[in-house]
Chain A
Amino acid sequence: MQQYKDLYNYKKMNIIVTATCGFGMLACLFLEMESRVFILTVLCLFISFAVTFASIFIKKLYRVSVYSHPILASLIGMYLTVVDGFGFFYYLYGVLGVIIAALYYSSRSVFITANINVVFYLITYIFFKEKIYILNYSFLTFTHVLTYVIALILIELAMYIQCKDGKKLLRMQTARYEVERQWNKNILDNAEQGFLTVDSQSIIEKSASRQCEKLFGSRVAGRTLGEVLFSDDEKEGSFINDLIKQVFLEDSSRKDVFLSLLPEIIQKGMKLIELKYKLIKSYRGNESLMVITTDITEKTEIQKQIKLEQANLKMIINCISERFEVIDIISQFREFVLYIKSNASENNREFSKNNLLREAHNFKGLFSLFEMHNTVRGLEKLESELEQGQEIQEQKLDISALLTCLEKDLYVIREYLGEGFLDEGDMEFKISKWRFNSLKEQVRRVLIPEESHKAISIIESLKYRSIKQLLSPYIQYTTKLAQRINKPIKEIEITGADIYIDYEKHKLIIMSLVHIFRNCVDHGIEDEDERLELNKPPEGEIKCNIADDGKNIHIIIEDDGKGIDFELLRQLIAQRGLLDEIEAKSIDDERLLEYIFNDGFTTRDCVTDISGRGVGLSSVRERVGQLGGRIIVATESGRGTRFDVQFPKAKEFGCSVISPESYITELSKSAMSFFSKLSNYSIIEGKIDIEDASLYQFIVMNRVSGCFNAVVLFSFNHILADKIVEIIMGQDLNVKELNRCRNDAMAEACNIILGNCFNRDNHSGYVIDIGTPVVIESIRVKSAFRPNDYLSKNIVIENDSFKIIIKLS
């Protein structure tokens, strides 16, 4: 707006001056009716108008003010010199005009004005040399004097009006503008970033800062942006120019879409330049695009490393979650590459370039799903080369390069996950513990919390194995064992739900189950002859069922053998001296069965290579017991035995072991234990009050991330805040010290509360990440949370109130 005013005043001033001069000259004309003078006067009038408009034009084009009144004064001088040689005074007046202008305006404008003046003077001097210093008094008539006086008065009047109106404003604005411009230019020139503006034709404007030239290594103004950014890639350059033209053509709501297509980072020689774009309105009112360029070469080197690590980790995570798809695509891709190779060399006609392009494009899409970045890049290169119309024959080298790219990705996968991962024959793959842990560690370190949380649960899922799969080797073993001791059994089928369990944790249970299977074969199932005598099918049957009752996981193994002989058991117990005979006879069956799990208890008299040492069942019970489970045995003589191995289900899958609701409960517990250090405080815990998120005077904010992301707010009233300072800093503080320490103390208190939150429980491993606290003090604070945005707990301690609010994000 100011600038328009500027320009307006400037125009007004110039027009007034011109009009005045013209009027002055017209006055001369009427007073002096000579034809020679008449022509010259008209000529001068034209020239004066021309000068005025030229000066306006110059101002517009070059932003340099040319002051027309000193110039016009010179012109009149020239005119009068020609007329009567009295023009010298007018030159003096012209010089005066320059001086006046110099007092008010910027130096550059005055310099140009003065120069034009000198040119006029020189022209006059050269052409009318002899007349300049001749003061021919005989010509000095009354009319002449009147003419000069009128012209002078009018010019002065014009100057006066101009000064009164616009001088102050103009001077101030011009000065300020100039200072600002210099200042801005100074800042821009010395900033790390380079600034340039581009007009609607994608041409860089003159105002480009010096840093741009440094970054791009050459002058940038006047060239097109595409040319500057991609000096060696004409196609890309013209794309940029085309795009920028389009941006200016689009209506404002769609500009963003187009702007987002502009490159964010470009490589220029050894430099990496980051580009940011902003549409701005220039002071002349037309729109231009500001480009902020930053040299990020150094920053990028470090970030590149991190980026690569991130890209690799994401690829790994994706591969873990969809292992078979990955393996499948890799083998498809290998076939594809081989196919191209063989066909390209045979110069096959049906093998068209478009087909190849489409295939490559599809593969690129697939690989980018798994974020296998090296392969994607390789395919991209192939694609762009194909698009540029290169022949397949020349592509032989690049086709092999594709495999190299793939190998790069595969190398990374093997590095992280071990050789077995890519082996398609294996349904399961093994990952060593240190690989597993280091992968988790790296994910935590490198990925942002939102991503790492998800990634870690995917990695954690590696620990989970299907029970069916875990049991299958034992099934095979059992079948073989049965064959070996001549007790044919039917194929063992595992029925029930396929439950995934944490393998590490349950490994020992699963391993110990072999004893139960062995027991079934060895002690349960009868010989073939015996079975036939008992009218049972010749083949024994062992069943295995897996079930989940919500709380526990059951692995039920049963046989249709002879069952446990209670009488024999009683005898043995008595024999071994575990109980005396009377007790052994009176004991009920259920308790009797307990003895089969006793260490060293066996029904066999001699140890065979299969069983009889009496350690088997006892070890199963011990291991199940360690995880809080138990074994229930049911047996029926002649019908078989049923072992029901139960163990509690693991907590939630992945690492989401805590919800915001339980977190806030934990936090308030932690807060209470903190406040209980305040002696004689009786603590009443408030309820979860959904409606209330009002805040007290002191607020400590902290960001937590991990299982969920949220902002935790602790809010204290004034008295409680002071008490906290006492707890943290010790007593006997004067008011000044108290005020000084308060913020730190409160931040510390909240750190303690947040930090102690999980000490009470065994929340092992990564659960939640705590940021740095921010303390805010304000008398009137209101939170604007919607009711289902937050959870809050109010803790009332005598008269003091304390509030914990979790704002979920």
Chain B
Amino acid sequence: MANVLIVDDSTIMREKIKNHLLTLGHTVVAEAANGMDAYSKYIVFKPDLVTMDISMPLMSGIEAVEKIIEKDAKAKIIMVSAMGQKATVLEALKKGARHYVIKPFDKVQLMAVIQKVLGDK
């Protein structure tokens, strides 16, 4: 099971993802509310997996992905996006994010994506 860093500026969303992850047996090592925070927490906690919201204050998810990948090319980042943000998702994937989920998602969808991402090296 993986150590996960949850990045989202909405508390409710973080709570929701956290609940899902916990029931799936993962450990949430840290939460971050913006890209800047996410980057510094990634450096500190070295999580196996990051769930990354896209639009956040201070530093967006895309920038955070770029910075994290720059530091650690093997980082496994899952983008958490809203409907209609496909172009941004594409950008994030190009920058090195591994996969994405689209809100609203349920546990099963999240699980599938996480398994896929944890599965590939």
Say whether A257 contacts B84, CB under 8 Å. no
Residue of A whose beta carbon sits closest to that of B57: A358
**Beta-carbon contact of A376 and B120 below 8 Å:** no
Q: Which residues of A contact B87 (CB under 8 A)?
A: 235, 239
**A221, B54: Cα distance in complex, Å:** 36
Give the nearest-CB partner of A367 in chain B: B104
Whether the Cβ atoms of A361 and B55 lie closer than 8 Å is: yes
Q: How far is the CA of A358 from the CA of B89 in the complex (A)?
A: 17
A539 contacts chain B at the CB level, 8 A cutoff: no
Q: Is the CB of A366 within 8 A of B98?
A: no
CB-defined contacts of A369 to chain B, threshold 8 Å:
12-13, 16, 104
Contact B55 A258 (CB under 8 A): no
| Residues of the B chain whose Cβ atoms lie less than 8 Å from the Cβ of A246 | 90, 93-94
Contact of B84 among A254, A371, A384 (CB under 8 A): A384
Q: A257-B99, A357-B55, A380-B83 known; A365 and B10 CB under 8 Å?
A: yes
In the bound complex, do residue B98 and residue A257 qualify as a contact, i.e. CB atoms below 8 Å apart? yes
B74 at interface by CB-CB < 8 Å = no
Within A351-409, the residues touching B (CB, 8 Å) are 357-358, 361-362, 364-366, 368-369, 371, 376, 380, 383-384
Query: What residues of chain B lie closer than 8 Å to A235, measured between beta carbons?
Result: 87
A371 B100 Cβ-Cβ under 8 A: no
With contacts defined as CB atoms under 8 Å apart, how many contacts are there between chain A and chain B in the complex?
Answer: 54
Q: How far is the CB of B111 from chain A (nearest CB, A)?
A: 15
Q: Select one of B16, B56, B82, B90 contacting A258, CB under 8 A.
A: B90
Distance in Å: Cβ of A376 to nearest Cβ of chain B: 7
Map CB proximity to A onto B6-17 as digits: 1 under 8 Å, 0 otherwise. 000110110010
Question: Do A365 and B99 contact each other (CB < 8 Å), given the known contacts A253-B120, A261-B90?
Answer: no
- Chain B residues whose C-beta falls within 8 Å of the C-beta of A257 in the assembled complex: 93, 98-100
Q: How far is the CB of A355 from chain B (nearest CB, A)?
A: 9
CB 8 Å contact bits of B80-110 with A (1 = contact, 0 = none): 0011101101100110001110011000000
Q: How many residues of A contact B (CB 8 A)?
A: 24
**How far is B24's CA from A111's CA once the two chains are assembled, in angstroms?**
67
Cβ contacts under 8 Å, B83 to chain A:
368, 376, 380
B9 surroundings in chain A (CB, below 8 A): 358, 362
Task: Tell me, rounded to whole Å, the shortest Cβ–Cβ distance linking A340 to chain B.
Answer: 18
Q: In the complex the two chains form, what is the Cα distance from A380 to B93 in whole Å? A: 22
Interface residue? A423 (CB, 8 A): no
Q: Are B13 and A365 in contact (CB under 8 A)?
A: yes
Q: How far is the CA of A366 from the CA of B98 in the complex (A)?
A: 25
Residue A242, interface by CB 8 Å: yes
Q: Mark A236-271, 1 if CB is under 8 A from B, else 0.
A: 000100110010000001100110010000000000
List the B side residues contacting A364 at CB < 8 Å.
Answer: 82
Q: Are B90 and A380 in contact (CB under 8 A)?
A: no
Q: A253-B120, A357-B55, A384-B84 are in contact. Are A366 and B90 (CB under 8 A)?
A: no
The answer to whether A243 and B103 touch across the interface, beta carbons within 8 angstroms, is no
A383 touches B84 (CB 8 A): yes
Chain A residue nearest in CB terms to B84: A380
One of A242, A261, A357, A366 near B10 (C-beta < 8 A): A366
Chain B residues whose CB sits within 8 angstroms of the CB of A384 once the complex forms: 84
Q: In the assembled complex, how far is the CB of residue B9 from the closest CB belonging to chain A, in whole angstroms?
A: 7
Of the candidates B56, B86, B94, B104, which one forms a contact with A239 in the assembled complex, judged by CB atoms under 8 Å apart? B86
For the complex formed, measure the closest distance between the CB of A364 and the CB atoms of chain B, giving whole angstroms.
Answer: 6
Chain B residues closer than 8 Å to A254, beta-carbon distance: 93
CB distance from A423 to the nearest CB of B (A): 23
Contacts of A358 in B (CB 8 A): 9, 55-57
**What is the minimal beta-carbon distance from B33 to any residue of chain A, in angstroms?**
12
Chain A residues whose C-beta falls within 8 Å of the C-beta of B120 in the assembled complex: 253
CB pair A361 B82 closer than 8 Å: yes
Q: Is the CB of A362 within 8 A of B10?
A: yes
Q: Which residues of B contact A368 (CB under 8 A)?
A: 82-83, 103-104
Residues of B within 8 A of A243 (CB): 90
CB distance from B7 to the nearest CB of A (A): 13
Specify which chain A residues have a CB less than 8 angstroms from the CB of B13 in the assembled complex. Answer: 365, 369
The chain B residue with its CB closest to the CB of A366 is: B12
A383 to B81 CA separation, bound complex (whole angstroms): 13
- Nearest CB in chain A to that of B53: its residue: A365
Cα-based distance from A328 to B98 in the complex (angstroms)? 36
In the assembled complex, how far is the CB of residue A450 from the closest CB belonging to chain B, in whole angstroms?
A: 10
In the complex, which residue of chain A has the Cβ closest to the Cβ of B13? Answer: A365
**Nearest Cβ on chain A to B115's Cβ, whole angstroms:** 13
Alpha-carbon distance A516/B84, docked complex (angstroms) = 61
- A108 shortest CB reach to chain B, Å: 42
Complex alpha-carbon distance, A317 and B57, angstroms = 32
Query: Shortest Cβ distance from A321 into chain B, in angstroms?
Result: 13
Residues in A whose Cβ lies below 8 Å from that of B94 = 246
Cβ-defined contact, A239 with B90, below 8 A: yes
Given A357-B55, A358-B55, A365 and B103 touching (CB < 8 A)?
Answer: yes
Within residues 409 to 459 of chain A, which ones have a CB less than 8 A from any CB in chain B?
A: none
What residues on B are CB-neighbors of A361 within 8 Å?
55, 82
How distant is the Cα of A276 from the Cα of B89 in the complex, in angstroms? 20
B98, closest chain A residue (CB):
A257
Minimal beta-carbon separation of B90 from chain A (angstroms): 6
> Which of A357, A358, A361 has the most B CB atoms < 10 Å from its CB?
A361
- Provide a sorted-by-A list of 22 A–B residue pairs whose CB atoms are within 8 angstroms: A239-B86, A243-B90, A246-B93, A246-B94, A257-B93, A257-B99, A257-B100, A261-B89, A261-B90, A261-B100, A358-B9, A362-B10, A364-B82, A366-B10, A366-B12, A368-B103, A368-B104, A369-B13, A369-B16, A376-B83, A380-B82, A384-B84
Instruction: List 19 additional A-B contacts (Cβ < 8 Å) besides A242-B90, A368-B82.
Output: A239-B87, A246-B90, A246-B93, A246-B94, A254-B93, A257-B100, A261-B89, A261-B90, A261-B93, A358-B56, A361-B82, A366-B12, A368-B83, A368-B104, A369-B12, A369-B13, A376-B83, A380-B82, A380-B84
B residues lining the A interface (CB < 8 Å): 9-10, 12-13, 16, 55-57, 82-84, 86-87, 89-90, 93-94, 98-100, 103-104, 120
Q: Which residues of A contact B (CB under 8 A)?
A: 235, 239, 242-243, 246, 253-254, 257-258, 261, 357-358, 361-362, 364-366, 368-369, 371, 376, 380, 383-384
Smallest CB-CB A-B distances: 9 pairs: A368-B104, A239-B87, A361-B55, A261-B86, A380-B84, A362-B10, A368-B103, A365-B10, A365-B13
